[in-house]
Amino acid sequence: MDECRAPRNLYIPRSRWTLAIRLVSCRKDTHDLDSKGSVGSWIRETWPRAQAVLFLPEASDYIAPDGQTSLQLAEPQSTSPFVKGLQEAAREHSVAIHVGIHHREEGQDQSKRILNRALYITANGDINDATTYDKLHVFDYGSLKESATVQPGTSLTAPFDSPIGRIGSLVCFDLRFPEAGLALAQPGPHSAWKNKPAQIITYPSAFTLRTGAAHWETLLRARAIETQSYVIAAAQVGRHNEKRASWGQSIVADPWGNIVLKLKGVKEGEPQGTAEDGAEGEIGFVDIDLEHLEKVRMEMPLQRRIDVYPEL
């Protein structure tokens, strides 16, 4: 496989959200080393003593130049060297990790569609199926046909506890479907998690240049406002290969819809998707205040009329 650009990392300590984009080169035979080496080293050097959650973008294992290559590269998460490397790094540094990967079912033929998955790895290096989410909405736009290689997920994942609050996992194109975020953060009385709604909605992403320029920030702010949640979106940035480039601009929005952090993306007017100077490796810090979240929800309760429109 030609060299591709993979993880741009979102790093979140216990009391603060630290958003960082970092460029890591990956090849078919070396992407497993990036997770343990580059990411592990970065955690150690950036915040060596923090109890933290590390968020990586969608498709952190690879972004392939075409669908066939993507199918060839996908591995079961249980045997993936990339995932195993992250598990080792999590244990070594006592840091939980939320990461987007490609997953192939055990024993599945390479011609079969795979899953676009968000994993949560505990600080002990464990993966629990109950915190694993498969992207519901696949991205078909123009010449990009994710549905040709990715099987949509079949259910939401219940919000789960983390060192920074309860996380509701969604991925990239799910951002365009407000129902999913509302179901996680503003559940109705019949929801299995009605007493433990999500406080944080994640959208690890690899937005295209055109859709990123038009909709990225607007959609993230809208999801934060309507769910009254913190929204974090770790975004791939820059050119991956001849066919793919990503918009970047990793964003944190608060429950009132304020953009409290926006990092750099691609150069303005640059059709080739060249990253802005400093976008690769940029780190920003934002305080997260769950008391602020609860105050917003208390002062403006969203009483959904499920007597008129049914809940999800």
Is 88 an annotated catalytic residue?
no
- Which residues are CB-contacts of 21 (< 8 A; sequence separation ≥ 6)? 8, 9, 234, 235, 237, 248, 250, 263, 264, 279, 280, 281, 282, 283
- Which residues are CB-contacts of 134 (< 8 A; sequence separation ≥ 6)? 103, 115, 116, 117, 118, 152, 153, 154
Instruction: Name the active-site residue from 26, 172, 264, 282.
Output: 172
Instruction: Name the active-site residue from 135, 146, 262, 282.
Output: 135
Is 75 an annotated catalytic residue?
no
CA distance 54 to 273: 26
CA distance 49 to 93: 8
Is 135 an annotated catalytic residue?
yes
String of b and e for 59-71 (b: at least 16 CB within 10 Å)? bbbbbbbebebbb
Identify whether the C-beta of residue 286 lies closer than 8 Å to the C-beta of residue 251. no
Cα torsion through 250, 133, 25, 14, rounded to 10: 60
Instruction: Name the active-site residue from 4, 26, 58, 75.
Output: 58
CA distance 85 to 48: 18
Active-site positions read 58, 135, 172
